[in-house]
Homo-oligomer: A and B are copies of this chain.
Amino acid sequence: MSWSKDPRGYHHGNLKEALLRAALDLIAQKGPAGFTFAEAARAAGVSPAAPYRHFRDREELMANVARRGFEAFAQALTRAWDDGRPEPFSAFERVGRAYLTFARSEPAFYSAMFESGVPMEADPELRVAGDAAFAVLRAAAERLIATLPAAGRPPALMMALHVWAMAHGIASLFCRGDAARRSLPMPPEDLMEAAILVYLRGLGIDPVRPSSP
């Protein structure tokens, strides 16, 4: 669905897209630090100065990759959450797994989003995209907490932050593609599922609460 030589293209046609894709490939191969502006240009078949017509500098390109990453991430989490079907508990576990699946299947996006050092303030759209992704997690937490008796409900924001931190921690430590990954005596997804299980039990949220048995 993507051509590097578009007949409609005169000079290049869609260098911006080509650069973003090249960056994604390079980040996936050599990490966010190993990615170079010049090499992305080379991959797109243009001179080293050409990218500057589309991105102020290397960091702006990285911020763009991160923004798209957050958008795809939010989509993936939303799809996993599936509006809490069939019931919030198992749906929430699905979200946890989806988090790790994304980190593993889109390492370039994940690196750009969380490990590239790009400040969220770099681009308002980046912040919006990042907030939208977190909002999915937060909404899910709210739904899950709503299943508890009204008295003594923990704050949903806190729960969302805890789950985010746990997922990010597991992803960072155990889901990396490169050699920096720590070894683990089990699949990261299992570790994540167990963590969520224990954590939710700590909040008083139990796995099986069928309202209509």
| A6 interfacial by beta-carbon distance below 8 Å | no
| A187 interfacial by beta-carbon distance below 8 Å | no
| A203 interfacial by beta-carbon distance below 8 Å | yes
Q: Interface size (A, Cβ < 8 Å)?
A: 40
Distance in Å: Cβ of A5 to nearest Cβ of chain B: 34
Stretch with Cβ within 8 A of B (4 or more), from A13-21, A139-147, A158-166: A158-166
From DSSP, what is the main secondary structure of chain A's interface residues? helix
Distance in Å: Cβ of A62 to nearest Cβ of chain B: 11
Across-interface contacts of A157 in B (CB, < 8 A): 185
Among B33, B170, B172, B198, which residue has its beta carbon within 8 angstroms of that of A202?
B198
Would B194 and A162 count as touching, CB distance under 8 A?
A: yes
Across-interface contacts of A168 in B (CB, < 8 A): 169, 172-173
Residue of B nearest to A204 (CB): B201
Complex formed: what's the CA distance from A165 to B184 in Å? 12
Stretch with Cβ within 8 A of B (4 or more), from A43-51, A72-80, A84-92, A115-123: A115-123
Across-interface contacts of A174 in B (CB, < 8 A): 165
Complex formed: what's the CA distance from A198 to B180 in Å? 30
Across-interface contacts of A184 in B (CB, < 8 A): 161
Q: A166-B169, A198-B203, A202-B199 are in contact. Are A117 and B180 (CB under 8 A)?
A: yes
Distance in Å: Cβ of A87 to nearest Cβ of chain B: 19
Would A173 and B165 count as touching, CB distance under 8 A?
A: yes
Residues of A within 8 A of B (CB): 31, 33, 114-115, 117-121, 154, 157-158, 161-162, 164-170, 172-174, 178-180, 182, 184-185, 191, 194-195, 197-203
| A/B interface sample: 18 pairs, CB < 8 A | A33-B117, A117-B178, A119-B178, A119-B180, A120-B179, A162-B166, A165-B166, A165-B195, A167-B169, A168-B172, A169-B169, A169-B170, A169-B172, A198-B202, A198-B203, A199-B199, A199-B202, A201-B202
